[in-house]
Amino acid sequence: MSTNLGKLFEFMSLIGQLKRVKRTGWVLKNVTDPESVSDHMYRMAMLSFLVDPKTGINKDRCIKMSLVHDMAESIVGDLTPSDNVSKDEKFIREEKAMQHITSLVGDEASQEMISLWKEYETQSTAEARFVKDLDRFEMILQAAEYEQLDGRPKALQEFFDSTNGKFQSPQVKEWVEELKRIRQENHKNDKT
């Protein structure tokens, strides 16, 4: 197998690892059958399709950024705020991982993935800020679903508390309010 093909298959394997990296936040809360990092990124990519065209936010770039934003976790793992790893240290680890993963593919793909990842990490564009909103919204949506699935109302309140007030997109803010209304309704029904 030529070196290039060998590197491509190493890339494919590393990306495949994201299907097996469970999201640590759910593991720590003992939810049933916690999702993987790729599950999380997939729904974010699908939510990107819903971006309001009137915002001028580039939908395709959001889809790509969603699919790239946590790919370093195939090597670094899924670090949570409770892991006490500083933002700087987390960035250093993830940047090193991104350099390695993208070194396995051609220059064009490599530069695009690195550029998308850095744009997200630096929150330097409207697309990056929208995708960060999707990252937080997808997490609380998943938290509400786990509460329902596991019959543990409000068990994951901390995920809602830690994202409170951090959403910037009016569109996503509306989704957050609707999600909280549905969650409250479900909680009321659970009591009856």
Ligand X SMILES: Nc1nc2c(ncn2[C@H]2C[C@H](O)[C@@H](COP(=O)(O)O)O2)c(=O)[nH]1
Please pick, from the candidates 11, 18, 21, 25, the single residue that binds ligand X as defined by CB under 6 A.
Answer: 25
Q: Does 23 bind ligand X (CB under 6 A)?
A: yes
Tell me, what amino acid is at 88?
D
Residue 184: partners with Cβ closer than 8 Å, 6 or more residues away: none
Cα(158)–Cα(145) distance, integer angstroms: 14
Q: To the nearest whole angstrom, how small is the minimum distance from the Cβ of residue 11 to ligand X?
A: 20
Q: Which does 78 bind (CB under 5 to 8 A by kind): Mn ion, ligand X, none?
A: ligand X
Q: Does 70 bind Mn ion (CB under 5 A)?
A: yes
Question: 94-108 burial, b for 16+ CB within 10 Å, e for fewer?
Answer: bbebbeebbebbeee
Q: To the nearest whole angstrom, how small is the minimum distance from the Cβ of residue 166 to ligand X?
A: 10
Residue 127: partners with Cβ closer than 8 Å, 6 or more residues away: 57, 58, 61, 62, 65, 119
> 156-175 mask for ligand X (x: CB under 6 A)?
--xx--x-------------
Q: To the nearest whole angstrom, how small is the minimum distance from the Cβ of residue 129 to ligand X?
A: 14
Tell me, what amino acid is at 182?
I
Taking the least distance from each CB to ligand X, the nearer of 11 and 138 is 138
Cα(112)–Cα(119) distance, integer angstroms: 10
Q: Does 119 bind Mn ion (CB under 5 A)?
A: no
Q: Which of residues 82-141 bind ligand X (CB under 6 A)?
A: 82, 135, 139
> 133-172 mask for Mn ion (x: CB under 5 A)?
--x-------------------------------------
Residue 179: partners with Cβ closer than 8 Å, 6 or more residues away: 137, 140, 141, 144
Cα(75)–Cα(94) distance, integer angstroms: 8
Which residues contribute to the site for Mn ion (CB under 5 A)?
70, 135
Which residues contribute to the site for ligand X (CB under 6 A)?
23-25, 28, 70, 78, 80-82, 135, 139, 158-159, 162
